[in-house]
Structure 1
Amino acid sequence: MNGVPIKELELIIRNFLASDKLKEMQLGDNYYKGKHDILNRVRKVIGQDGNLVPAANLTNNKIVDNKFAGAVDQKTDYLLSKTPSLSSKNEKDMDNLNKIFNSKFFKLLHSIGKGTYLNGIAFLYIYYNEKSEFSFKRFKGSEVIPIWKDNDHTELDYVIRIYKTKKFTGYDYKEVTNVEVYTLDGIDYYTWDNGLSSLIKHENYMKLEDKEFNWEYLPVIPFKVDETELPLIMKVKSIQDAINEVISDFKNDMEDNSRTTVLVVKNYNGQGGTLRHNMNLYGYIPVGSDGGVDQLTIEVNAGNYETILKILNKSFIENAKAFDAKSDKLQGNVNQMNIQSMYSDIDLDATALEREFKASLKIVLWFVKQHLKANFNEDDIDIIFNKDILINESQAIEDCQKSVGIISTETIVAQHPWVNDSKAELEKIKKEKDSSIEEIDGIYDGHNHE
C-alpha cells in the first residue's frame, strides 16, 4: 500500500474536481467535439419594464464553425502524422527497438499529441498486459492528478487517476467512479462517491512466476504541450466564440425583419417600453385613429460581416499558431520562402512540442531498456520527428542531392519528399547495393573461368 493518507488523497481529489484546471481541460474536450457556448445562447429583447427578457419567437441561429478542432488536428498532424524515426549505431538495438516502437505505438503517440493540445498534458502508462507483453496505454490529462516533486514539474512523486466506467448491477448499468493511485510501491484501487471507499486491492507492476516486482521509476510518463501545460482552447476561446456569434448573427439578421426595419410611429397610444416589446415580440404596434407607421428599411451589409470574419479568422490562426491553408502565398508560383513564412508559427510551436516529447520518450526508452535487458544509453538513441510541411519538391530533392557526402544517408533519406518510411527505404537501398555487388562478382567470376 502507498504511504499517502486517505484523508490527504480525498482532499487532493476534491480540490481537483472543483479546480479551474479541470474545467479548462473539459472545455478543450468539449470545444473539440463541437460543444460551444453559442449552443446555449438565448436571444433577448427589451421588455415592457425596460429590462432584457428572453424572446423565444425570435430567430436564434446557433452556428458552430469549429476552427478550434481544425487547428488541433492541423497542429497534431504537422508533427505526428508522419512516423518518427529512431536511429542507433547498434543495429541489434534498432531491431529490438523497432519491434516495440511499431505502428501501434506511434498511433498511440499521435493520440497523446492531440491530448496535449486539448488538455495541456497527457500521460503514457507502461505495463505488462494479461499475456505478459510489454504494453503502453494513454491516460487523458483530464483524468489524471499528477503530484510533482518540484515546482517546475520535472519529476513525478505519484499519480492519481480518476475516471468513470459503467458496471452492470444485474438490472441496469450504474456509473462508477474509479480511483487508482500509482506510486513506486505499485497501484492501489478504490472507488469514489464523495469520498474514497476502503482499499479494493493492491497490485505490483510486474509479476514473474510467483514473484511480483515494481519499477525503479514511476511508469506513468507525462507528455506536456510545453512548460505551461495550458490547453490550447484557453488561447483562442474568445475568438472562436466571436466567430460563431458573427456567423449566427448574420443569419439571424437575414431572417429577422425586426432587426432590419425601423418604424416611425405617429400618434402612438402607449408607453415606450410596450412599443418596443410589441414590435420585437409580436411584430405589430397599436396606434390612434389619426396615427400611422412609416417604415425605414436597413439593408444588411454582408461586406461588414465578411470583414469582421476575415479579421477574426486571421486572429484565430495567429493565436492558435496554426497556418492558413487558403493563404494567398499558395497562389501562383509558390517558392520555398513563401511556404516557410506561412508555416513559421506552427513550426515554432511544433518545435516546442517536439522538445517536450523527446524528453518524455527518453524516459520511455529507459523502461524499454530494462524490459529488453539491453545496455544501450538512452541518449545514444536519436529520435527524429518528420514534420508534415508543404514543400517545393524539386527544390527539396535538389537539396538532398547537394547534401550527399556532407550528412548521413539516413538523414538525407528521411528528408526526401518521396519517402514515407525511411527505415524501409534504407533497407531497399541496401538490398540494391548488395544485388549490384553480386552481379559484379558474377561478371568477374565468369571472366576468371574463361
Structure 2
Amino acid sequence: MAEYSVMDRINMIISDPDHATMTLAQIVTEEIREFKASEQYANMIQAEAYYRNRTDVQRKTNDVANRSNTRIEHPILKKLVDQKANYLLGKPFTVDTKNSSYGDALNDVFDQTFRRKIKSLGKGAVKSGIAWLQPYFDDGKLAFMRIPSAELVPIWRDAERTKLDAFIRFYDQVIYIGTRKHTITHAELWWTGGVKYFKTDAFAGTIAGDFIVDTEHGDEANDYTEPHFTVGNKAYNWDTVPIVWLKYNEEELPLCYFIKDLIDDINWQTSVTADVLRDVAKFIYVLKNYGGQDLGEFIKDLKEHMAIKVTTDGGVDKLQADLNIDAVMAFLDKQRRDVYDFAAAVDTKDPDLGNASGTAINFRYMDLSSDCDSLATELKDTFQRLKLFIDVYLQIAGKGDFSKETFDIVFNMDLPVNETDVIQNAVASESLLSKRTILQNHPWVTDADEEMERIDAEKKAAMEEYGEGLFGDALGAGKGQNGQGDPVNGGGADGNE
C-alpha cells in the first residue's frame, strides 16, 4: 500500500475529492485529536498552568482530621520566563540595513504594537517551547497576530521541522442557541492554496469532536475555500504558508520541562513546613495509668481544673513536632539555586550580586546571556521568514520593491553594566570603528540612525551659527565709527570728505 504524507493526502483530496478515501474534515479532526493526545501538547498545557502559578502542590492532601493542609505556591516559572524575555527584548531592537528607504519602511512596520508582539512571541517560545505569529491584513495594512501554541497543529514538510506545508488552527467559541449555552470548536486549514474553515456541530448528527465544513465561509462554487487576504476587492494568496515561528530550542521543549520537579519540591517542602508550624500548638498527650474514666473526662479535667487524676506511677507526656527550621531553610536555598542554575537564569536576590564587579556580573549573567543568544539567533531567522510577507506588503502599499534588499536585527540585551566603562571604551574605539557601530553599543542610545540624524542636525546648526558670526564680524569691521563709508579714507556715504 502506498504511503502518503498529510500534505499529500490534502492535495489529493483537493485535486480529486470524489475519489479520496478521506475528506479534509476527517483529516482536520484526526490531526487535532492526535495533537491533543501528544506529549508536546501536554507539556504546553502544563507549562501554561505553572506560569500561572498552578502547580502539582494543589494535589497535596491531608487525611488526618484537624490537621493543616497548606498549599503554598511560588510564581517561579513566571519570573524565569519574564526574565529571559525582558533581558532579550526589554530594550528596543535596532534595524540594520544598507538601504535607508528600506530601513524607514521597516521601522514603519515595526511599530510599538509589533514590538510588543515580538516580545510576546519570545515569552511564548520560552513558556511553550515554540511560539507562532501570523501575518494578516487589517484595513489594508499589514498586521500580526499571536496564535497560542496549544491551538496550532503544524504540518511540517521535513523531519527537522524547518519547513512548513500547512497548519491547522483550532479554538473554542461559546454561543447561545435559544436559551442554552453551547461550546463549539472552530478549525482553520491554511496552506498555499488558501484557507478552509471547519467547525463542530452537535446538531449535525456527527460524533462529538468531529468537524464539518463551515459553509458560512466561501461558497460552493469555490469549494468553500477563501483566499489568504483581500486588498481593494482583489484576492491574494501568499507564496508560502502565512505563519512564522520561534523555537526555544531544537527539541521545542518549554523551560518548565527542565525545572518542574525543582519547583514542585520547593512548593511541597514549604507547604509541609507551614503545616508543622501551624500545628505546633496541637499537642499529642501520652497518658500513663490515667485514673479517669475516658479521654473526654481527661480533657474536661485539664480544661476546668488544670489537673488530672493518675495512679501511683501514672503521668502525662506531651509529644510535639521537632522541626529544624535552619535545615529546612538550607535545603530550600539549595533548591532555589538549582532552579536558577538549570534554568540558565540569574538569581537577582543573591546578596553578593549587588556588590559584584563588572567582570563578576558578566560571569553571573553568562548562562542567561548564552541562552538568550541562542533565542536571538532563532528570532533572527523568524524575522527573515517575516521578510517575504513584509516585502509583498510594501509592494502592494506602493512603498517600493525591496525583495532584493537585506536587513539585520540588532538586539540590545538588558545586561547590567558600568556605563562609565562602556562609554570610555566607546571613545577609545573611535579610530577603529564607525560612528554608527559605536552608537549602537552606547548605553544611552536606543536608535543609532536617529542619533546620527541629531548629530548631523547639531553640526549643521553650529556651522550656520559660526558662519553668521564670522561674516557679521567682517561686515562690521568694514564700517566707520558711525557705521558708514570707508574707515581708511574717512569717506561718507556720498564719497565727500
Q: CA shift at 1:257, angstroms?
A: 3.5
Equivalent AA in structure 2 for residue 358 of structure 1:
K
Q: CA shift at 1:104, angstroms?
A: 1.0
Is 1:132 equivalent to 2:145 in the alignment?
no
Is 1:194 equivalent to 2:209 in the alignment?
yes
- Which secondary structure state, in structure 2, belongs to the residue aligned with residue 442 of structure 1? helix
Equivalent AA in structure 2 for residue 396 of structure 1:
V
Alignment match, 2:451: 425
The within-5 A match list for 1:269-308 is 292-308=315-331
Asked if the contact 2:87/2:414 (under 8 Å) is kept, the reply is: yes
Query: Cα gap change, 1:445/1:216 in structure 2, threshold over 3 Å: closer, same or farther?
Result: farther
Query: Cα gap change, 1:91/1:379 in structure 2, threshold over 3 Å: closer, same or farther?
Result: closer
Asked if the contact 1:66/1:240 (under 8 Å) is kept, the reply is: no
Q: Distance in 2 between matches of 1:170 and 1:109?
A: 41
- 1 or 2 for the larger relative contact order (CA 8 Å, sep ≥6)? 1
Aligned partner of 1:60 among 61, 69, 72: 69
Q: Distance in 2 between matches of 1:431 and 1:174?
A: 63
Equivalent AA in structure 2 for residue 96 of structure 1:
A
Q: How big is each residue's C-alpha offset from its partner over 1:29-60, in whole Å with a ceiling of 9 and x where there is no partner? A: 111111111122112xxxxxxxxxx2353101
Alignment match, 1:434: 460
Query: Cα gap change, 1:378/1:390 in structure 2, threshold over 3 Å: closer, same or farther?
Result: farther
Q: CA shift at 1:439, angstroms?
A: 2.3
Is 1:123 equivalent to 2:132 in the alignment?
yes
Q: CA shift at 1:119, angstroms?
A: 0.8
Alignment match, 1:364: 386
Greater mean deviation of Cα atoms: 164-173 or 351-360: 164-173
Query: Cα gap change, 1:215/1:445 in structure 2, threshold over 3 Å: closer, same or farther?
Result: farther
Aligned partner of 1:33 among 42, 45, 52: 52
Is 1:229 equivalent to 2:252 in the alignment?
yes
Is 1:176 equivalent to 2:184 in the alignment?
yes
- Tell me, which stretches of 5 or more residues in structure 2 are unaligned? 1-8, 14-23, 201-207, 218-224, 296-308, 479-497
Aligned residues: 422
- Which secondary structure state, in structure 1, belongs to the residue aligned with residue 212 of structure 2? coil
Equivalent AA in structure 1 for residue 41 of structure 2:
L
Equivalent AA in structure 2 for residue 234 of structure 1:
Y
What RMSD in Å do the two structures reach over aligned CA positions? 2.7
Alignment match, 1:47: none
Q: Distance in 2 between matches of 1:81 and 1:57?
A: 48
Q: CA shift at 1:336, angstroms?
A: 1.2
TM-score (norm 1): 0.87
Alignment match, 1:22: 41
Aligned partner of 1:93 among 95, 102, 105: 102
Q: CA shift at 1:228, angstroms?
A: 1.4
Q: CA shift at 1:110, angstroms?
A: 0.7
Alignment match, 2:111: 102
Equivalent AA in structure 2 for residue 10 of structure 1:
T
Q: How big is each residue's C-alpha offset from its partner over 1:357-407, in whole Å with a ceiling of 9 and x where there is no partner? A: 000101111211121124435773121011011111111111221222322
Alignment match, 1:71: 80
Q: Distance in 1 between matches of 2:345 and 2:458?
A: 41
Equivalent AA in structure 1 for residue 402 of structure 2:
F
Asked if the contact 1:2/1:188 (under 8 Å) is kept, the reply is: no
Q: CA shift at 1:309, angstroms?
A: 0.9
Query: Cα gap change, 1:422/1:267 in structure 2, threshold over 3 Å: closer, same or farther?
Result: farther
Equivalent AA in structure 1 for residue 336 of structure 2:
N
Asked if the contact 1:148/1:155 (under 8 Å) is kept, the reply is: yes
Query: Cα gap change, 1:56/1:376 in structure 2, threshold over 3 Å: closer, same or farther?
Result: farther
Q: Distance in 1 between matches of 2:198 and 2:320?
A: 66
Q: CA shift at 1:63, angstroms?
A: 0.6
Asked if the contact 1:267/1:292 (under 8 Å) is kept, the reply is: yes
Q: Distance in 1 between matches of 2:333 and 2:279?
A: 24
- Which secondary structure state, in structure 1, belongs to the residue aligned with residue 433 of structure 2? coil
Q: How big is each residue's C-alpha offset from its partner over 1:216-238, in whole Å with a ceiling of 9 and x where there is no partner? A: 11111111112111011111110
- Which secondary structure state, in structure 2, belongs to the residue aligned with residue 380 of structure 1? coil
Q: CA shift at 1:331, angstroms?
A: 3.6
Q: Distance in 1 between matches of 2:124 and 2:412?
A: 19
Alignment match, 1:412: 438
Percent identity (aligned): 30
Is 1:145 equivalent to 2:148 in the alignment?
no
Aligned partner of 1:256 among 276, 279, 304: 279
TM-score (norm 2): 0.79
Is 1:337 equivalent to 2:352 in the alignment?
no
